[in-house]
Structure 1
Amino acid sequence: MKTKNYNTMYIISITLIATLGGLLFGYDTAVISGAEQSVQLYMIDNLGLSSFIHGLTVSSALIGCIIGGLISGYFSNNFGRKKSLLIAAVLFLVSALTSAYPEFLFFNVGEPSVGLLIAFNIYRILGGIGVGMASAICPTYIGEVAPQEIRGRLVSWYQFAVIFGQLVVYFVNFGIANGQPSAWVNDIGWRYMFASEAIPAFLFFILIFFIPETPRYLASKNKEVQAFNVLSKVNGSKERAQAVLAEIKESLSKKTASGKLFSYGKTVIIVGILLSVFQQFVGINVALYYAPRIFESMGAGQNASLLQTVIMGIVNVIFTVVAIQTVDKWGRKPLLMIGSIGMAIGMFGVAILAQNEIFGIWTLIFIVFYTASFMMSWGPICWVLLSEIFPNLIRGQAMAIAVAAQWAANFFISSTYPPMMEISGGMTYGFYGLMSVLSALFVWKMVPETKGKSLEQLESLWGKKDKKSSEEVSQGNIWK
């Protein structure tokens, strides 16, 4: 029987606090699904603006996410993972309150204007910066604290928190709108939806004070005593802590390339970026952000569409748990490839139905099948791999670039959805299906299996500064 070399309760407690950043990620990005039609009526239609402006407004937080992703490396490396999460929490709180009341200081309620629309988007961008920072730093934090035996499972809980945050806000949005006339929702209800985020944001801010800095960050700043103390608590053994610390110090001592971004070659950076881009190009956030509108196109009313969105959210949570239970048993690659195939089936099914203008239960089934496939694979596993594949010396920089690429791809896909749908629904969903197929080929050819290895052991995958030939990479030999 295998002995546990870690302190389970301590690890779970700090992981749960760190994953609140994921819950806020999900909450902030999905709250717009219930409010976007009201915002459209108030600040888009009243001003006679186009569907492109509508798409940009729905996706404006993603501009902040790109910025947050880009600056996360600087904050993470210079101020630490913990202090950076505190900054993200403040941004979540400020954004929640000002998005709910964008007229704050400068405008009058009930008087829509271009200036008000710009202010609303700025407030959403602030929250997006918090999301971008949290999306890079939370998985990094968990990955740097977690023992290698359960690292995949713990980082996957971050994605569970993202999906749970989305599910919570679906319930909140439904609860606010349920039984209320549309006029009230369009006037007041949407404000309550945005303001509700202030509650988990404040909780996140308070609880961050109770978690330690990561041992790998502490070691990188020559704070070895503090790093050893955290490792001792995590591993429940001073001997194991000493062994892990020695491995970390050996990794950090490899400063021949001064920790420059391409110290370990370009392949690791390319793989990280492509993991991020494919996670978005398969179209998942279209399904999440526009879910009520998609269901309304099938004939559901406003409240019924919000209820169907809640059902989809429950399915997402269930299948994220499937990934959590299997990621450290089956490995990362098998789950990603199974998920890619499932997503392709789901999106091609929706595409065929949309092209033939067939809407009904089968459209709902294909969308749920698609999102379930994503949640058991690319949803959590992408974050697991991003927290694992980058070597210690470049983790902050590389994670920032990969996450910024992810949010840029997210922004592109989300903002182009309304105009693409005006051209052809079948073409739009077919494009996401094609991306799902390409994502499977990418995983098969380029993504390494990381199950059961320490973060320091994984550095050897990257061929000592690209000494492996491009031929070996293309044949997948370096991953064997």
Structure 2
Amino acid sequence: MSLGFSAIALPELLRADSPDHLDIDEASWFASVASIATPLGCLLCGPLLDRFGRRVALLALNVPFTLGWLTLAFTPSPVSTPVLYLGRILTGLGTGMASIPACVYIAEVSDQSLRGMLVTWPSIGISAGILVVYILGAFLKDNWRLVAGLSAAFPILTAVSTLVLLPESPLWLLSKGRDRDTELRAVPGPQEALQAGRQLGKLRALTLPQAWKPLFVLNGYFFFQQFSGIYVVVYYAVDIILQAGVSMDEYVVTVLLGVVQLVAGIGVSFALTRCGRRPMSLLSGVGMTVCMMGLAVYLQLVPNGSQAALSNRELSSIPLGLLLAYVVAGAIGFHTLPWAMLGEMYPPLVKGLAGGLTTCLAYLFSFAALKIYPYLLMLLGGDAVNPKTSTSEGVFYFYGVTSLLATAFVLLFLTETHRKSLQQIEQEFLERPLTRSVALWCGDYGTSAELCRN
């Protein structure tokens, strides 16, 4: 929910006659400051996961969320920017702490045949939270404080549900030598590896091939996720819609984008029981490239605010269709799969530490992408203050080119994890080279090979 909050609050905060008015620099900090605290949350969560368990980590993350939402809800008017930023920082801290535990927990307790579907559900939960905020914003519009107050109820309910319903991960209990505390006696994988993991230092373990290779791959995946514009569209949804020349009410369109993203995410979770991560990621990258390039070309031919754009409603449906297609393309791979693969690609020994480092870097990338967006927009010919009349094709070209580079990265480096046990994935990183060729991909990667040949 924190990810979507800036999208519905910024229009009111940027309005010139608003008592809570922020300038462009303050608004960019409001959107991006949560991502400063998020890496700290990621780093805090790693030790929590490894030392105190998955259940404790899932409980602890609700504390900063609740405090952050209440801080935003009770921000004084006229707005106090330090209080506003504090609320965003606290929710950002909670976002960081929430980035790893669910993916790790699901990967450890789920059956191999269902893991592909289940590990995407944390991302679906994120999409659902964004949609809830968009819906609240559409109904309440200028009352972002009330939206924040209502949002505070969700982490409280989550904490109670976790406390009452969720048992600890059996694999974590075994890794701590607490065999008698778990009901799951036959956990896949050699117990010798778990015992060895207790004796090897965590930082030293990061130099092992089965640790540093997935660290490189996932960090690269997250870099391209952020700079291909996926989270910029989420955080600046209303402004992006106006810059794209969509004629419908921008708040209604944000809800539509949220619904499409959620439905696409659910569809992807079921598709992943049959399809590999690599082909889904490649399809996602190609789709994002086509949509961003198409939107840029459209805006170059039909400038935003021009007579043609204002008078022809059929023309205005083109940018809406491209934005919706972009959201679907992102949900197929780049928005969903990096988070899902966090629980799959790291060995148990370094899962907390490596997962924390990766999500820390992911949100540092997110902060950079969100912070520079208004300046990138102005540098490439747009106007962050008056998006309805700005020329924004330059920034969409930028995201299109980045999406193309992201596709190339996936083709070269992403390892297939579909229908493989966690131990098989670890063994593959240990034995295989880092780069992947198309021939190798088509040659022996299970479902990916079948999709490639078909």
Identify the TM-score tier after normalising by the shorter chain: 0.7 to 0.9
Which stretch shows the higher mean deviation, 288-297 or 94-103? Answer: 288-297
What is the deviation of 1:374?
0.6
Match of 1:331 in 2: 276
What is the deviation of 1:300?
6.6
- Picking from 423, 427, 433, the partner of 1:456 is 423
- CA contact 2:411–2:437 (8 Å) conserved in 1: no
What is the deviation of 1:411?
1.1
Match of 2:179 in 1: 224
- Picking from 210, 227, 236, the partner of 1:290 is 236
Which residue type is aligned with residue 445 of structure 1?
Answer: L
Counterpart Cα distance in 1 of 2:157 and 2:89: 21
Match of 1:20 in 2: none
- Picking from 353, 369, 376, the partner of 2:325 is 369
Match of 1:89 in 2: 62
- Picking from 345, 349, 362, the partner of 2:294 is 349
Distance of aligned partners of 1:253 and 1:42 in 2 relative to their CA distance in 1, 3 Å threshold: farther
Distance of aligned partners of 1:288 and 1:354 in 2 relative to their CA distance in 1, 3 Å threshold: same
Which residue type is aligned with residue 149 of structure 2?
Answer: A
Distance of aligned partners of 1:102 and 1:42 in 2 relative to their CA distance in 1, 3 Å threshold: farther
Measured against aligned partners, the alpha-carbon deviations of 1:359-387 in whole angstroms (never above 9, x if no partner) come to: 52211111111111111222222222221
What is the deviation of 1:202?
0.9
Which residue type is aligned with residue 196 of structure 2?
Answer: K
What is the deviation of 1:251?
2.7
DSSP-derived class of the 1:295 partner: helix
Measured against aligned partners, the alpha-carbon deviations of 1:31-56 in whole angstroms (never above 9, x if no partner) come to: 22111122334899977x65233211
What is the deviation of 1:474?
6.8
Aligned residues: 416
Measured against aligned partners, the alpha-carbon deviations of 1:317-349 in whole angstroms (never above 9, x if no partner) come to: 221122111112011111110011000011111
Q: What is the alpha-carbon root mean square deviation over aligned residues? A: 2.4
DSSP-derived class of the 1:401 partner: helix
- Picking from 109, 134, 149, the partner of 1:170 is 134
Counterpart Cα distance in 2 of 1:46 and 1:133: 30
Which stretch shows the higher mean deviation, 192-201 or 31-40? Answer: 31-40
DSSP-derived class of the 1:388 partner: helix
- CA contact 1:327–1:381 (8 Å) conserved in 2: no
What is the deviation of 1:400?
0.7
Match of 2:112 in 1: 148
Match of 1:429 in 2: 396
Measured against aligned partners, the alpha-carbon deviations of 1:381-433 in whole angstroms (never above 9, x if no partner) come to: 22222210101111111111111111111111111111111122222111111
Counterpart Cα distance in 2 of 1:350 and 1:298: 7
List alignment gaps of at least 5 residues for structure 1: 1-26, 104-108, 178-184, 232-240
Determine whether 1:192 maps to 2:146: yes
Counterpart Cα distance in 1 of 2:69 and 2:402: 33
Counterpart Cα distance in 2 of 1:148 and 1:155: 11
Match of 1:37 in 2: 11
What is the deviation of 1:473?
5.7
DSSP-derived class of the 1:379 partner: coil
Counterpart Cα distance in 2 of 1:378 and 1:315: 15
Counterpart Cα distance in 2 of 1:469 and 1:161: 34
Match of 1:28 in 2: 2
Counterpart Cα distance in 2 of 1:293 and 1:344: 20
Counterpart Cα distance in 2 of 1:57 and 1:321: 30
- CA contact 2:117–2:272 (8 Å) conserved in 1: yes
DSSP-derived class of the 2:113 partner: coil
Match of 1:57 in 2: 30
What is the deviation of 1:203?
0.5
Measured against aligned partners, the alpha-carbon deviations of 1:427-464 in whole angstroms (never above 9, x if no partner) come to: 21111111111111111111111111121221101126
Counterpart Cα distance in 2 of 1:72 and 1:338: 32
- CA contact 1:257–1:263 (8 Å) conserved in 2: no
Match of 1:270 in 2: 216
Which residue type is aligned with residue 297 of structure 2?
Answer: I
Which residue type is aligned with residue 284 of structure 1?
Answer: I
Counterpart Cα distance in 1 of 2:193 and 2:222: 26
DSSP-derived class of the 1:378 partner: coil
Match of 1:235 in 2: none
Determine whether 1:379 maps to 2:335: yes
- CA contact 2:75–2:145 (8 Å) conserved in 1: no
- Picking from 406, 413, 433, the partner of 1:439 is 406
Match of 2:359 in 1: 403
- CA contact 1:172–1:193 (8 Å) conserved in 2: yes
List alignment gaps of at least 5 residues for structure 2: 310-315, 381-391, 446-454
Which residue type is aligned with residue 99 of structure 1?
Answer: L
Distance of aligned partners of 1:221 and 1:423 in 2 relative to their CA distance in 1, 3 Å threshold: same
What is the deviation of 1:258?
3.3
Measured against aligned partners, the alpha-carbon deviations of 1:290-317 in whole angstroms (never above 9, x if no partner) come to: 111222346678x921011111111112
Counterpart Cα distance in 1 of 2:126 and 2:292: 22
Counterpart Cα distance in 1 of 2:245 and 2:436: 49
Counterpart Cα distance in 2 of 1:169 and 1:448: 35
Distance of aligned partners of 1:85 and 1:53 in 2 relative to their CA distance in 1, 3 Å threshold: same
Match of 1:18 in 2: none
What is the deviation of 1:175?
1.7
TM-score, reference length from structure 2: 0.85
Measured against aligned partners, the alpha-carbon deviations of 1:221-251 in whole angstroms (never above 9, x if no partner) come to: 1111223x1x3xxxxxxxxx42x25x25233
Which residue type is aligned with residue 53 of structure 2?
Answer: G
Match of 2:371 in 1: 415
Determine whether 1:203 maps to 2:157: yes
What is the deviation of 1:280?
1.3
Q: Which runs of structure 1 show a deviation greater than 6 angstroms over 4 or more consecutive aligned residues?
A: 42-47
What is the deviation of 1:476?
7.9
Match of 2:257 in 1: 312
Counterpart Cα distance in 2 of 1:88 and 1:43: 37
Which residue type is aligned with residue 434 of structure 1?
Answer: V
Counterpart Cα distance in 1 of 2:398 and 2:129: 28
Which residue type is aligned with residue 28 of structure 1?
Answer: S
Match of 2:347 in 1: 391
Match of 2:52 in 1: 79
Counterpart Cα distance in 2 of 1:338 and 1:451: 16
